[in-house]
Each structure stands twice: as structure tokens, then as C-alpha cells.
Chains A and B, each alone.
Chain A
Amino acid sequence: MSINTKIVDDLVANDISFVTTVPCKQLAGVIDEIDARPGVLHVPSNKEDEGMGLCAGAWMGGKRPAIIMQNTAIGVTINTLATLIQYYRMPLPMLISYRGELREPVACQVEMALHTKALLAQMNIPTYHFHTQSDADELNEILKYTFMCNKPVAILTDANFWGGYGDQ
């Protein structure tokens, strides 16, 4: 089974039926797989804070949401995480492409990578880092944990996890 199929199987097994995305090359296969599942409504968003608003509404409407984005979005969404997702106590799994880690070809991506875990820690957001594919074995439990505690939870997936970034 491909890692993309495994990830989306875990989302579906945890009743996630609303996914918003701001795309990433590393997560392109996951997004394609989501589009292939009729039980999951995929609504692309233009910015990650907008996507979190969509997820908040979807959850209040009875659908379990998830957001797919890059780690640069942590810089975009701090206020939304604090004053919407955390303040109203809402669950939100964030499947994040962790750009700027080992095997990263673009130097600028390293700049936000350096801040990513510190920002998540400062926000008291439970954070899991997938570096090798077997790390994804925990995804099912991470999703259960997210909807148990009604918190945003970050799942950082780096280039090594995806087998390199693109052709690099």
C-alpha cells in the first residue's frame, strides 16, 4: 500500500469527511487520494487561516475536518489557532509538509523550518514529526487523540519521510 493510501485510509477510518488544502508537492499524492474518495469533501482554500475557518464551521456542522498545508503556514495561522481553534476548543488535525528539513533543496524554506517546532511548542500544540515511513504507523492514534482532546494537533512530515523533495 502506498503511503498516500495509508494516510487517507487513516483519515477515513477516523471519520474525517472534510479536508481543506493549500497544496504542497510533497502532499500532492495525498491530495489526489483524497479527491478519489467520495466520502471526503475536499475544499481547497486560498490561505491557511481561511482553511481553518472552513474547518471550524465544518466541525460545528457535524463533519470531522482536517487541514493539509506547509509549515510556513504556522506563521500565517498563529492568531487563528489561538483565538478560534484553541479558544473555542475545536479539534483540528494539521497534516503538514515540513519544508526546510534534511533533503530540502530551497534554502529559504529552512528559515521557517527553524521556527516551526518552537512556535508549535509556544502554542502548546501537540506535535508529531514523521521522518521515516514507519512513523506514520502512529497516525491513526494521533487522529484519535486529536478528536479525544479537541485540540489542534500538528503532524510534521519532512522530505525524508516522502523520500526526498521532488527530484532532489
Chain B
Amino acid sequence: MIRSEILKDIAPILRDQLVVCNIGLPSQELHMIDDQPTNFYMLGTMGLSSSIGFGLALAQDKKVISIDGDGSVLTNFGTLPTIANNVADNYILLIIDNGSYGSTGDQPTYAGKKTSLTEVARACGCENVVEVAAKDTGKALQAALDGDQMTIIVSKCESGNIKVPVITMDPVVIRDRFMKSVQA
């Protein structure tokens, strides 16, 4: 399975949740598969999906899912100790780990080589880290939503991309409708 297939698979689970989605193809794919006002699409700022979602989880009580990638987590490694040391049980970090920088042409990341993000997250102090095969992502995500414990899911999948249109929605519109969903 590639990332877009995972997103298609978990879209019905994501639909009613607050989702912060990673820059580039992940946001474009989610937008194409199932655009929702509860989705915050990152149009720039690689690496900060986990931080934005985590800040949101700390500020209010609804559950928050950050969809991140292995390359983006590598860009913002400092996020994992922050998450581990300020536990928010309404927070789920879903790292779709395809071992490559998908949006820029599938160059390999170190997560696809020797570095295990699952072990890094545990070493940073994250207490509930699960690594799953791509096909089990939905099950793991639903279990995390059903539980009341902060969860880091590392979903191992194949690299590969589909053709998707860019998001042309104005960023302030994305942000405004997302904030209204948070408050609803």
C-alpha cells in the first residue's frame, strides 16, 4: 500500500475528527479524497504538523489527529520529546512512514534506512507507540480514538504517489472553517 491508499482507507475514520495534515501530497490527497472543514491542510512549513496538532490538543478537549510523514518528523525531531513530556491524551500522531520524501520525488529518508522512528519515539519518552503495517492503519487509528491515551502510530508503507491537484483554497479560509469546527 502507498500513502494515498492508506488515506483512502482511513478517510471514514478521519471524517468526524480534527485532523492536521502534513504539507504537500498528503494534504493534497486528503483534500481530494474527502475534503472536510475539520481538516487543516498545511500549505507550507514542512515538519510542523505534529507541533500544530499537539498545540491544538493541549488547548482544548476534542481529539486531534496529526498526520505526518517520516521525512517531516525527521525535519522536526524536537517535536517527539515535547510530545512525550507534555502528555495530551486527546492527541494521536499518525506517522505514515514510506521511507521517502514523497512530495519531492521519493528520495529515500533515513527512516527508510537504519533509523526507526518507532524506537526514536519510545526513546524520547512517548509511552504508547505502535508500529503497524499499512493495511492495519485503520484498526490502529480506531483503537487509538477509542482509547483515552496519547498514541503515536507509525504506519509502514511503500513509497509512491498518485496524481493530485494542488489545493487552491485560501489559507485563511482553511484556517477559519477549521477553527469553526474546533469551536462547534
Contacts and interface: CB of A to CB of B under 8 A. Distances in A.
Interface in B136-184: 171-172, 174-175, 178-179, 182-183
A87 B157 CA distance: 32
B79 A50 contact: yes
Interface in A27-62: 41, 43-47, 49-62
Interface residues of B, number: 34
Nearest to B76: A50
B82 interface: yes
B44 interface: yes
A83 B43 contact: yes
Interface of A: 18, 41, 43-47, 49-63, 65, 79-80, 82-84, 87-90
Nearest to B52: A57
A43 B52 CA distance: 13
Contact of A61 (B51, B56, B171): B56
Interface stretch (B57-65, B96-104, B114-122, B127-135): B57-65
B60 to A, nearest CB: 4
B48 A89 contact: no
B45 A57 contact: no
Interface of B: 20, 40, 42-45, 47-48, 50-60, 64, 76, 78-79, 81-82, 86, 171-172, 174-175, 178-179, 182-183
Contacts of B86: 43
Nearest to A77: B45
A50 B80 CA distance: 11
Contacts of B58: 18, 41, 43, 54, 57-58, 61
16 contacts: A41-B59, A46-B81, A47-B76, A49-B47, A52-B51, A53-B45, A53-B76, A54-B51, A54-B58, A57-B52, A57-B57, A58-B56, A58-B59, A61-B55, A83-B44, A84-B45
